[in-house]
Structure 1
């Protein structure tokens, strides 16, 4: 919400009820939650891009040693020496996990967007131009 510009008057003389204030607070909380989810989604998409690049790099490794080629694979803060096939399997599992997290986050954002639209409709219908819900 923004303050009215100097010289501008509030044409709507609607009182803010407890219910209205609760809806305004809910709107604010949903915006904050959406922002947090959007940041998390961005991180997950970066992780997916990293894993996709890693899968391509592993496939491009020479097959001279076959499955005996060992690769350092990062698990948490540690690197573990693993066979190429095990690393490929692990990367595929990690990709599946990241994909499911991305889908879950996108679903939550979609739900929040629906709730925000409903609140906007109600609040703009009641307060008109005297409330600013846009960013």
Structure 2
């Protein structure tokens, strides 16, 4: 026996194993998307730093030697070689950013399909919308 307010009826839908798998997949995809967004922000910030650095280095004399970080140590490189390395790193970062953006698009497509199916079956009995974090 259920105690519902007067005039309301029970609209609960039974959750099948397949439905539970879709709900779990939805949750997993949301977490993967969140992690990808964090990585994307870090890569974009790093790319901005590289762009700023290359602009600063272009103002220097090409034969001047600067300290360039390779791994855990610094080596002296001519500005022209340092700019070449920065351009290579910039290209790699651009490729990584594009790859992560494509992953996020795929996650969004999968999430949209799962939402469509789950809302069709459960209606208002399931909430797949996210609350914005207040920090």
What TM-score do you get using the length of structure 2 for normalisation? 0.87
Moved beyond 6 Å, runs of 4+: none
Residue number among 97, 104, 116 corresponding to 2:92 in the alignment:
97
More relative contact order, 1 or 2 (CA 8 Å, 6+ apart): 1
- For structure 1, the 5+ residue unaligned runs are 1-6
Do the aligned partners of 2:44 and 2:97 also contact (CA within 8 Å) in 1? yes
* Structure 2, unpaired ranges of 5+: 131-135
Instruction: Work out which of the residue numbers 76, 83, 87 in structure 2 matches 1:81.
Output: 76
Superposition deviation, residue 60 in structure 1: 1.2
- 1:49 is aligned to 48
Q: Which residue of 1 aligns with 2:110?
A: 115
1:128 aligns to 2:123 (yes or no): yes
Alpha-carbon offset, residue 81 of structure 1: 1.2
The corresponding residue for 2:17 is 18
Q: Does 1:32 align with 2:54?
A: no
Count of aligned pairs between the two proteins: 124
Q: Decide whether the 8 Å contact of 1:23 with 1:119 is kept in 2.
A: yes
Q: CA deviation at 1:10?
A: 7.7
Instruction: From the superposition, tell whether residues 89 and 15 of structure 1 become closer, same or farther in structure 2 (CA, over 3 Å).
Output: same
